[in-house]
Structures are given as structure tokens and as C-alpha cells.
């Protein structure tokens, strides 16, 4: 994936999935990763909703910008690490070229908003997250399912034309992938 060999990665996951049975957790992981890989080069699934500040968000309104969709949880240390390197890269670009949207997946562990929101807000404040954050929901707002996210942290890079250009970026390749997508 880091070498952008998406067709090879897709075939590898298809091969793995043909060798059943797996535990439900491994099956979900493999299916999710395959779905995410198959998004590359295709239009990004919709992200439409209200962020935690009560502001409307629609991914279509970001067309013309490169958009990094960051999936995370408030209880995951790797999510905190991801936020730090995303923020450091974001500072290098003006808002007209790069946008970030966070998708919080805490509801996968606990569906009660009264217990979720304080932890999520504390995380956003503690890590000084400046971008909009939406809660993953159900049906049309189950962004994790639409993007094939079965584990966190995870991210998807969407090009200016609204197509998925990269998945599963790490601190090693995030900056170069964004620079290439932005055209710098």
C-alpha cells in the first residue's frame, strides 16, 4: 500500500479471503481492508452530517481541495499519535488546498452519547484538533462501513476531483502523498 501497488494489494486480500474460515474479527478486518483498497481511483463515499460544533458538513463542499479523512477513537493511543502528525502536515498547507475531517468511532464501543461526548470533546481539546469532527452513525452516516474501516486509526486521502487517491497513510508517507495530491 505504501508503494501504491493497489492492484497487488487487492489481489492479495482477495486471495486471503478465499481461504476461509476465519474468526469473525479477522474476517471483518480482511473484508474492510479490501473494501478500502477497492475505493482507490473511485469517487469517495459521501460524508454528510453535523460536526460536534453543530455545523453542517458535506464532503462535496470540499471539492477542489485535497481532503484527508481521519478515522479515530478517543481511547486509542495510536489515534492520538495520528492526530499529532496530521496536524503537523496540515500546518504546511493553506485551507484552500487541504482539508481534514475527523470521523470518531467511539460509538462502536458505547452507543450512549451522554458517555461518549465528554471523552471525545476532552480528546479534541487535549490534542487541539482544529478540523471538523463527525460521529460515525448508522445507515447513511455509517462512514466507517462506507470506507471499509474496521480498525483505527485509519485514514483516506481524497483528491481534488473527489476520488480516493490513497488509503492507510502513515507518518512515513503522509506528507509526500499530500504534496503529490496537492500538486507541490
Helices 77-90/174-182 angle, 10° precision: 40
Contact 33, 13 (CB under 8 A): yes
Q: What is the pLDDT along the chain (184 residues), one digit of tens a residue?
A: 777 888 899 999 999 999 878 888 888 888 988 999 999 999 999 999 999 999 999 999 999 999 999 999 998 889 999 998 898 888 888 778 999 999 999 987 666 667 788 889 999 999 999 999 999 998 999 999 999 998 899 999 999 999 999 998 988 889 999 999 998 5
pLDDT at 141: 94
Strand pairing category for 56-58 and 48-50:
antiparallel
Residues pairing with 99 in the sheet: 67
**Residue 110, pLDDT score:** 64
Confidence (pLDDT) at 170: 87
- For 87, the enclosing helix (H) or strand (E) is helix 77-90
Residue 132: its pLDDT value, please? 96
CA distance 166 to 144: 16
From residue 16, alpha-carbon distances to 12, 13, 20, 31, 146 in Å are 6, 5, 8, 10, 21
Q: What is the pLDDT of residue 55?
A: 97
> If you write DSSP's letter for every residue of 2-52 in order, what string do you get?
TT--HHHHHHHHHHHHHS----HHHHHHHHHHHHHHHHBTSBPPP-EEE-T
* pLDDT at 113 (0 to 100): 65
Distance CA 124, CA 134 (A): 12
Pairing of strands 98-104, 133-135: parallel
Q: What is the pLDDT of residue 94?
A: 79
For the whole model, what pTM was predicted? 0.90
Inter-CA distances, 26 with 13, 17, 20, 34, Å: 12, 10, 10, 12
Amino acid at each position: 500500500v505504501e508503494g501504491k501497488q493497489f492492484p497487488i494489494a487487492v489481489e492479495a486480500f482477495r486471495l486471503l479471503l478465499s481461504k476461509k474460515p476465519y474468526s469473525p474479527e479477522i474476517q471483518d478486518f480482511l473484508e474492510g481492508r479490501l473494501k478500502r483498497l477497492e475505493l482507490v481511483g473511485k469517487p469517495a463515499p459521501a460524508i454528510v452530517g453535523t460536526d460536534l460544533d453543530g455545523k453542517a458538513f458535506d464532503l462535496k463542499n470540499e471539492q477542489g481541495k485535497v481532503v484527508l479523512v481521519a478515522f479515530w477513537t478517543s481511547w486509542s493511543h495510536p489515534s492520538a499519535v495520528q492526530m499529532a502528525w496530521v496536524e503537523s502536515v496540515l500546518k504546511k498547507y493553506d485551507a484552500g488546498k487541504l482539508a481534514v475531517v475527523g470521523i470518531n468511532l467511539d460509538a462502536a464501543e458505547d452507543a450512549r452519547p451522554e458517555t461518549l461526548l465528554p471523552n471525545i470533546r476532552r480528546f479534541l481539546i487535549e490534542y487541539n484538533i482544529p478540523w471538523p469532527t463527525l460521529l460515525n452513525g448508522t445507515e447513511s452516516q455509517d462512514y466507517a462501513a462506507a470506507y471499509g474501516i474496521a480498525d483505527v486509526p485509519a485514514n483516506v486521502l481524497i483528491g481534488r476531483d473527489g476520488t480516493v487517491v490513497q488509503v492507510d497513510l502513515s507518518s512515513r508517507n503522509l506528507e509526500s502523498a499530500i504534496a503529490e495530491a496537492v500538486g507541490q
